[in-house]
Chain A
Amino acid sequence: MKKLFLSTLLISSVVLALAPVPAPKQQKEVVYHNATVHIGNGKVMKGATLAFSEGKITRLGYFKMKWQPTDIDLKGKHIYPGFILPVTRIGLTEVDAVKATIDDVEVGQMNPNVRSIVAYNTDSEIIPTLKFNGVLLAQPTPRGGLVSGLSSIVQLDAWNWQDAAIVSDDAVHVNWPSAMRPKFDMATFTLKTVKNKKYHHQLEQIKSLFIDAKLNATQAKNIKLDAIKPVYTGKRKVYIHANKPKAIIEAVNYFNKIGVPSLVLVTGQGVLPVLDFVKQSGIAVIVANAHQLPQREDSSVDAGYTTALKLQKAGILTALAYQGGMTMGSRNLAFTAGTLASYGMDKEQALQLITSNTAKILGIDKNYGTLEVGKSATLFVSQGDALDMKGNRLIDAYVDGRKLNLAGRQQELNQRYLKKYGK
């Protein structure tokens, strides 16, 4: 198996130190037999056949058809829907500490009109490392300010952003302010929490933007208000970024009151005291990162690893993101789902948090997120359990049936030096 794995890589690593060439359209049908198929909706089909053609899944299940010579036996191997990475900086940043490579925070507080899709760099060196681990779809999202801008949903194997886009400008992102804010105190050299003096002003800024857009409070064309208007028809979602219980309640109540039909909450352990409220409100939740330290010194030592479990148990539609200091870490999305499983979640349900649930929240579940006949063949074959780093070894991966070149610069460098050392 190891040999098969390595040789696959070697063949595709002729691209050298550039991001791999995007794959061409699917030409012929691909048929896998004897696979453990993880549907992505909580179910698993063992020893099943999965076939796709022209980018769509054509067959899934148990068939008594004769194998064709090109059919592939996947005994002992797994097929997964492509993982989806929501609210990410992928393609918008390259090297975190080098300002020139960062394109995810525009100046100012109110940027509903800025669009991540035009800055999304399909040739980012970070993208191949995500595909290598099974992340095939993502939602590049602006950050910063009170209203950060518009995200888009992309597939990760494209020549340019036009090709990459699945849904452009799908959501506007709002950072709901909190009455308290952290402040670094130079005198004592410690982080303190101080009153956010701008809190009311910040709330007013957000509220007037949304109200003015609703009432079209302008005579000339106003691109900021225009960016907000689609949220009232549900064509564009509002993502609330908030991790304090009161801020969550305030924000959700506000958007409900003004009639925004489609809301998503991006949060962390701060949602735990208001689980019932969130459940009642019917809002979907994206957990910003499962690999978090407990919020308080006295919190459960596993608090970060069990937040999503508690949301899911409360009956809230939940997905996982991988936010944090370093963009490159998001290649570990699958392992954050795996970690949830080690702290009490059912494995297939943990998988849903990076596949079907995410697709539902993003509104792309018609085509993506599960392996079902008629849906996009955006999937991969793994040597073993893809939520476990020991098993997560991709043999093949497809976006809309297009077979990807998985190996990138990192694999090439590995080969180069193994060869240098004769290993």
Chain B
Amino acid sequence: MKIIICLVLSFELMANPNPTAMLNGPKDERHPIVAFTNAHLFIDENTELSNASLIIQDDKIIAVGQNIDVPKKAQVRDLHGANIYPGFVLLDSGYGLPEPGKHAPFTFFGAEIMDTTTKGAVNTNEAIKASYQGITEFHHDIKKAKELRKLGFSSVLSSRHDGIMRGSSVLVNLNDDSDNQSIIQPKVAMHLSFDKGSSKQLYPISLMGASALIRQTWLDAAWYSEGQPSYIDVDLTAINKNNHLLQIFETKNWQQTLLADKLSKEFNKNLIIKTSGDEYKHIDAIKKLNRKLIVPLVMPKAPDVGDELDAWKVSLTDMMKWQMSPYNAYYLNKYKVDFALIPSNNKSFLKDLAQAVEKGLPRNQALAALTSTPARYLNNSKIGNLNKGSFANFIIAEKDLFKKGGKINENWVAGKRYEINEIIPLQSGIYQLTIAGKAQEIELQNKAGKLEIKSTAKESKLKFKAQFSEEFVRLKISQAQNEQNLLGLVNYNSITSISGSDPVWQAKRIKDIDKKEDKDKKANKKLDIPVVPQPFSAYGLTAKEKASSYLITNATVWTGETAGVLENTDVFVKNGKVAKVGKNLSVKADKIIDGTGHYLTAGIIDEHSHIALLSVNDIMANSSMVRMEDALNSDDINIYRNLSGGVTAAQLLHGSANPLGGQSALIKMRWGATSDELLIKGADKFIKFALGENVKRSRSQSSIRYPLTRMGVEQVYRDAFTNALAYEKQWNDYNKLSRSAKKKVMPPRRDLMMEATLEVVNKNRYITCHSYVQSEINMLMKVADDFNFKVNTFTHILEGYKVADKMLAHGVGASTFADWWAYKWEVNYAIPYNAAIMTKMGITTAINSDDAEMARRLNQEAAKSIKYGGLTEQEAWKMVTLNPAKLLHLDDKMGSIKVGKDADIVLWNANPLSIYATAQKTFVDGKLLFDRDKQMQIERQISNKRMELIKQINQSDEPKMPAQMKPEKHMQCDSLTGYEYLGAG
């Protein structure tokens, strides 16, 4: 017993000094060997050894296995069957690095900062900090190290979380020795994100802007390495120099994860993605990436739904997040995704881990995700296992670490012992207590160092109180007024009185405590894994539609074609297309829908929408390089709401803060698909332009961004198009050179902004231009004429009626509001007759929403052109179907009901232009994605699910977060953020 005490003490050794250190005192260098015997070893997730030994010297494991010889020099420690796990490896931390500065990504006030504020020969964008090296600033942090060791981590990959390209990270052990001794590898990975961090520079302010910046910077780096550039950029140099390193990309949601993957494929970068822990939402899509992931173990608190009026604020999706998040690791493992785990909340990490295991993550996979997997990512065989030669980084835990209540007793890092929870060598069990020769049985519970004792005899009135400190146990036994105090020394599973004391007593473990039956039942309980709806939303689908053909019978069909309106007509759709239109069709359909008394039309196409986007606006005057498809959000409930209003397709436009805005995403409302699947394949390329008040930043008094006037706007265009043509010539000249001549010159720089602008000039990308007053409309047409291309569409175009003749001559289309005006100065002369006048002039005219709410009533908006301007019903209807299809060059596939066209169709209960009409059934690609007949049932299911989850939340005793209500976002043209609801742009 005494041996144990001194052995334990002797582990507390200081590290040997650095070899180059000049000593202040006598040399004291030692290399003790420590042997852990009788341990249950987890060499790695697949190799478990019981009754085995682990032998370490200095910071390394020197031997491991069953029946191995313990060197004579070794200090031996009998672990009595306790577990030894490899120390955990943390792949994402800012440990030991200074906190980055903070800066809001955008402010509405003050003069914009257009250039980087970082000193030195750095990249022109402040968010590109690729030359940063963690090693240069690393200093071990005793407090933080202690915190991380408590969670079981022994080595950490540390990087500075600041900027889009964040520079390199350093791999360190968490021992409290000198920095020289704790660093494992000075430069391990390059880190990236979509978050501009502390950058004060204006650009970028959006997700798609960050994406464009990353693409451009990778192109720049490649170009920079191709010749002798005439200037120095230390960040581009660093990117090139560290291309061989791991590239770790941090994302904030599953959509960003898909985007990071897309970028890495484009540039052939082998990214590891540090995610946000929401993979369960779209595990199929995540699986398809086939990518290494670093996943935080997110266990969100339940929203506080305590009283019914608070519960009203809480969305079902938030409750579902609470319900589903614990299953994330289960899903990742089930789908065989390669993943490492990291904590999301340090305070509850081990509890979270146990919960993930309880929710179906196999124990060995949990261990792998914290040890061998991160080590494999880092290509480091010395950590994350207990093999000979590896770092002596390991965890001692008496109990299963992955079970509820599991605790770390000791965390050894580089051969140094750090005690987390003291091991009391008394296992819970039935003990025989003998006092002065009288024996009785007691039940002793060792609850993480707290001893609870009671008699096994039910009628016993004895009360026991035990206190453990150092190696002693004080036992107080009381009955009524009588009290007896005993002091004893602890040996493994026994307590004995100190020699010479009176009475002589001892307690000795004789057997296990009988487990109660119900506990066994609990263990056998089958996991009830909730189904994840697609998309992750209250209205998400839990089953895929099977029918592939529909026959809609006896409806009034508004074809939108020369056939006009067909009464009592059947429409047969099959495999996503309109297959037949006629009377009394005899076909075999999976489902037949009686359309009697109903109207069947093509689906509504919204030429101007900002739904289903994670962000809307970037900020450069020429933002043509940003792509809205990079910010798609297929989970947006407004897709479903659009379907409920008969909308089947839309152009998702960039905002209007820029004369040359971003590239549009043309989507169909394929509710249930992931973001990329929303895109209309093979569609022509479009881009948002904007004129007027927004691009001159009229609402900021102190803006310095060019342009501030409509005069400047014209010059932005002329400049952009002129430069784009020069850019083209530069490349043409270069491409004409012979191979050997090419080698002698620096190739032109690929410029994504110029490429997109050039596409416009070269008629490969079509403009939808936000516009209001006649002068600017005429201006852009004139500029386009001068550069020999056409503007495709003016959107908003509220003074189009004033220049309709010129528009007709130019050949431009129009997409306008039915009756908006007076929300800002430049729309003061807008009139609701605008659409009708332009139509009468022969201009292809559409009515659009620019508003998630109004999008559901575009049929009503179209009908206003009958009230104002006296259009016919069919003319009015085309303004939300065939005309927008024409403007988007989709009229060969959409916009009317015609054999061979896409089966994007809507069944209405009344004349669709009547205010009393509601969409009853909406099909996209022949799939019935909204069915009003089922709406009641769906709403009831949602209501039941709400009630069930509210019940579950109220039953759980976990801490809650205050009930929150997320205000509905109105993304419109002016929305940089969804914040400034100042009316349409």
Contact = CB atoms under 8 A, between A and B. Distances in A.
Contacts of A326: 820, 822-823, 983-984
Contact of B822 (A293, A327, A418): A327
A339 B857 contact: yes
A314 interface: no
A208 interface: no
Nearest to A100: B825
A331 B819 CA distance: 9
B939 interface: yes
B104 A187 contact: yes
A388 interface: yes
A305 B426 CA distance: 68
6 contacts: A180-B313, A246-B309, A297-B317, A301-B641, A328-B821, A389-B864
A392 B819 CA distance: 14
B807 to A, nearest CB: 11
A390 interface: yes
A102 B537 CA distance: 40
B802 A417 contact: yes
Interface in A289-306: 291-298, 300-302, 304
Given A245-B312, A325-B983, A338-B916, A298 B967 contact: no
Contacts of B805: 420-421
A97 B308 contact: no
A31 B640 CA distance: 50
A339 B857 CA distance: 9
A297 B831 contact: no
Given A193-B313, A273-B312, A413-B801, 13 more contacts: A95-B822, A97-B693, A97-B824, A180-B962, A189-B615, A195-B962, A293-B968, A298-B315, A300-B935, A302-B644, A304-B853, A329-B820, A414-B868
Given A293-B968, A297-B317, A98 B824 contact: yes
B946 A96 contact: no
A335 B314 CA distance: 31
Contacts of B913: 390
B316 interface: yes
A38 to B, nearest CB: 15
Contacts of A339: 857, 860, 915
A98 B539 CA distance: 40
A362 interface: no
A159 interface: no
Contacts of A6: 870
A325 B967 contact: no
Contacts of B915: 335, 338-339, 341-342, 387-390
A126 interface: yes
Contacts of B833: 410-411, 413-414
A81 to B, nearest CB: 19
Interface string B798-837: 0001101100000000000001111111001101110001
A65 interface: no
A133 B205 CA distance: 42
A236 interface: no
B308 A273 contact: yes
Interface stretch (B63-71, B521-529, B974-982): B974-982
Contacts of A186: 104-107
A414 B831 contact: yes
Given A304-B853, A325-B823, A421-B837, A97 B637 contact: no
Given A390-B866, A417-B802, A96 B824 contact: yes
A359 B979 CA distance: 36
Contacts of A245: 309, 312
Contacts of A125: 822, 828
Interface string A184-208: 1011011111010000000000000
B288 interface: no
B980 to A, nearest CB: 9
B918 interface: yes
Interface string A239-263: 0000011100100000000000000
B423 to A, nearest CB: 43
A280 B832 CA distance: 44
B228 to A, nearest CB: 41
A125 B863 CA distance: 24
A301 B804 contact: no
B882 interface: no
- The range of chain A's interface size is 35 or more
A191 B916 contact: no
Contact of B946 (A193, A298, A411): A298
Interface in B846-869: 852-854, 856-857, 860, 863-864, 866-869
Nearest to A388: B915
A182 interface: yes
Interface in A327-369: 327-329, 331-332, 335, 338-339, 341-343
A274 interface: yes
A343 B860 CA distance: 14
A331 B120 CA distance: 59
A353 to B, nearest CB: 14
B942 A301 contact: no
A387 B910 CA distance: 15
B203 to A, nearest CB: 15
B866 to A, nearest CB: 5
A301 B967 contact: no
B538 interface: yes
Contacts of B857: 291, 339
Nearest to A413: B831
Contacts of B144: none
Given A97-B983, A300-B939, A387-B915, A291 B840 contact: no
Contacts of B822: 94-96, 125-126, 326-328
Nearest to B980: A184
Contacts of A301: 539, 640-641, 644, 856, 935
A2 interface: yes
B699 interface: yes
B142 interface: no
Contacts of B978: 191
B853 A291 contact: yes
Contacts of B942: 298
Contacts of B693: 97
Contacts of A180: 313, 962-965
B917 A342 contact: yes
A240 to B, nearest CB: 16
Contacts of B963: 180
Contact of A193 (B105, B802, B863, B965): B965
Interface in B891-933: 910, 913-918
B825 A97 contact: yes
Contacts of A96: 822-824, 982-983
Contacts of A300: 935, 939
Contacts of A393: 867
A420 B206 CA distance: 45
Interface in B865-888: 866-870
A274 B312 CA distance: 10
B539 A298 contact: yes
B966 A191 contact: yes
B982 A390 contact: no
Given A97-B983, A293-B968, A413-B829, A273 B309 contact: yes
A423 interface: yes
Nearest to B869: A414
The residue in B313, B315, B917 that gathers the most chain A C-beta atoms within 10 A of its C-beta is: B313
B841 interface: yes
A95 B863 CA distance: 26
A335 B864 CA distance: 10
Nearest to B635: A297
Given A192-B964, A389-B866, A292 B825 contact: no
Given A414-B837, A421-B841, A191 B864 contact: no
Interface string A382-423: 000001111011000000000000000011011001101101
B969 interface: yes
A2 B316 CA distance: 51
